[in-house]
Amino acid sequence: MSAQSVLTEARPLVIAVDGPSGSGKSSVSKEVARRLGLEYLDTGAMYRAATWSVIESGVDLEDAVKVAEHVRNLDLTMATDPSAPGVWVAGHDVNEAIRETRISTVVSKVATNLDVRAELLKRQRELIAAGRDGVHQGCVAEGRDITTVVAPDADVRILLTASEEARLARRSKELHGNADAASVEATRDQIVRRDSDDSTVSNFEVAADGVLHLDSSALDFEQTVDAVLAAINRIVTGSVTDLDEHARAGAVS
């Protein structure tokens, strides 16, 4: 299937991808956006950048009011080119800094702040609507609440999940280079605990009505990208008109 074959509509295509940590949603969404010539928005990076800025500014993470005030005034720039995505705070490149363990272990404190979520929700919607350099290319947006809150009217909405075992192994390889028992345990907090914390304000484990559920547990990266592209093609071309339980369970071929 040609990736470009799904781009048949006159209006820009918006694709929303939800999923838990380690499901592959970031890497897969970025590649899908690249192949389709769309923008790519990593909303999780926005929360990480906000967390980094709060910490660097000396704001107490436990002070919800001050954290929200800081984020409302945050000078945040997101590059949405999937071949060169990036995050800057007040002109400072934070792409590597926001992936550090010290950010990963506390980002939920910021991400579960409802006032912070409201502020970043507004910015996320603006970014999805604007596109690169003010020209709307269409967008693949991924993160939490994307299919239900951020972009509930997206042309395609996908919940990308994987088993806890698969997610731990993937993130362990990403962070530690292997998935042995020690590495998996060292990664568990970033996956299980963070998902548990975030689930108090966000539903990203159960597909809402009209959202296609794709389980990537048994798929490698290329297979997952192909499955997502196939799902997009089916939905955009009208091959899927009613997502029943079988479809939401991952029947995308």
Binding annotation for ATP: 19-27
Can you tell me the distance from the alpha carbon of 154 to that of 208, in angstroms, rounded to the nearest whole number? 13
Tokens of 209: 């009505």
What is the distance between the terminal CA atoms of the chain, rounded to a whole angstrom?
12
| Residue (of 7, 16, 8, 10) closest to 35 by Cα position | 7
What phi and psi, each to the nearest 5 degrees, are found at residue 22?
Answer: 80, 5
Question: In the β-sheet with 139-143, what is the strand arrangement from edge to edge?
Answer: 39-42, 139-143, 14-18, 156-161, 212-215
CB 140 within 8 A of CB 39: yes
Assigned token pair, 78? 């997101």
Q: Which residues contact 163 (CB under 8 A, 6 or more apart)?
A: 215, 217
